[in-house]
Amino acid sequence: MKTKLYIFTIALTLLGMACDPIEDKSLRDEFAKTGTPVTSAELTAALSVTQPVPNNDDKVEGDQYVVINNARKDIAGTWFVNTPTGIKQYHTDHDTIVYAANGTYDIYFVGLSEKQAVTSETFTVTVTNCFDEYMTFLSGAKDKADKTAKKTWKLLDHPLAFYNGMYGAWKYYDMTPGQSNYQSGNSVLTADDFGKYMVFEIAGSKLTIYDKNGAVLNTGGWGFSHEDRGELIAGEVISSIRLIGTEKSWQAFSGTSTPYYILSIDADNMILCLPGTYNRTGDDWDYDASYYFFTAVE
């Protein structure tokens, strides 16, 4: 019995020794700081962010092509690239980024120097050459080089294709003409209004308004933005002349300083709003607006 007890005691002692961990210092030594890393300025000097393709009126390619390059191959790292859909990471020394939307974007690089992270200064690129889908919706152009594109729009064939009403109606009601009691009784359209049409041309951003017989009523220019103004809108149509129906609106029109809000837009239909004021401090129902329902003409 004593022999068995002695053996059992030794076994417990050995087991206790086996549970005592032995520190492995190899990984700690591998990642320990060993020297002075490059400075942010020195890292930045080894980097380049360029837009090598010039914009050209008859070419689709342009400043949306952005080339990133790290000349210090001994400093591995990651590019952090701001895009319209958020920050994307590029684990490479050299790459070409193709932006899909115009805008101003920040780019920076984080590298590992002497086992320490170093962040470069921020590079800023401005992209102006992208062909926006709103250009296709409004003018029918397929791309930037489609210089002969033009598209015709007219009022939807419905008594409430234009009406005056409360500002912000799209936040509370179905905006389909005739689907809300709110819209009833506010139409002021005539047969002549339904005969009018307007043509958006990509060349020179030209806008022409015609009467039902095809005679020119007015000419001007057009543009757009994606500004949402915090109002649940999809952007703005900016026009130097009145769109169809605007001459009967309650709201004053003053050219490009009074843009039409885009409530919805696609290749076939467009709903716009002209607000009575752009500086509101009260509730929506304290203000007025006019609403326009346009459809594309094949």
Q: Which of 125, 34, 120 is nearest to 70 (CA)?
A: 120
User: CATH: 3.30.70, 2.60.40, 2.40.128, 1.10.287. Which one for 133-297?
Assistant: 2.40.128
What does the block give as tokens for 173?
A: 């009601």
Domain ranges of the chain: 36-127, 133-297
Residue 240: half-sphere exposure toward Cβ, Cα within 13 Å? 11
3-state secondary structure (DSSP) of residue 48: strand
Does position 14 have pLDDT exceeding 70, yes or no? no
Of the two residues 62 and 248, the one the predictor is more confident about is: 62
Of the two residues 171 and 32, the one the predictor is more confident about is: 171
Dihedral sign for Cα atoms in the order 255, 256, 261, 267: positive
CATH code for the domain defined by 36-127: 2.60.40
pLDDT-derived band at 149 (thresholds 50, 70, 90) equals very high
